């Protein structure tokens, strides 16, 4: 199942810089591991914002929920999820 997920990050002002650095390092490792498995199929930076647009290719709603809640930055995120399907005018029927 394909999902477009927008994640906007808001780290609290005044948070300990060491805690922030550790959280960012764990986030990068977690997301890159999921990219290697193919579940996190694409990730793009949203220009001018501390956010990204990602495409997930996962087996179920539950799996996406598990992935998102496992993100080290999740407590500091606003997340918007949109399930995707192939558009009937697409020449790439595989999506």
Chain segment 59-80, per-residue pLDDT in tens: 999 999 999 999 999 999 999 9
Contact at 8 Å (CB) between 53 and 6? yes
- The pLDDT, as a whole number, for residue 95 is 52
| Residue ranges of domains in the chain, CATH in brackets | 2-84 (3.30.70.1060)
Contact at 8 Å (CB) between 58 and 4? no
Chain segment 17-55, per-residue pLDDT in tens: 999 999 999 999 999 999 999 999 999 999 999 999 999
Residue in the block written with tokens 């999921």: 34
- The pLDDT, as a whole number, for residue 10 is 97
The pTM for the full model equals: 0.90
- The pLDDT, as a whole number, for residue 2 is 97
Tokens of 75: 């407590």
- The pLDDT, as a whole number, for residue 50 is 96
């Amino acid at each position: 199942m394909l999902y477009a997920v927008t994640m906007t990050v808001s780290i609290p002002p005044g948070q300990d810089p060491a805690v922030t650095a550790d959280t960012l390092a764990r986030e990068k490792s977690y997301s890159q591991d999921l990219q290697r498995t193919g579940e996190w199929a694409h990730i793009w930076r949203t220009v001018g914002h501390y956010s990204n647009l990602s495409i997930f290719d996962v087996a179920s709603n539950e799996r996406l929920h598990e992935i998102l809640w496992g993100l080290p930055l999740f407590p500091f995120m606003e997340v918007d999820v949109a399930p995707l399907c192939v558009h009937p005018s697409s020449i790439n029927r595989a999506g």
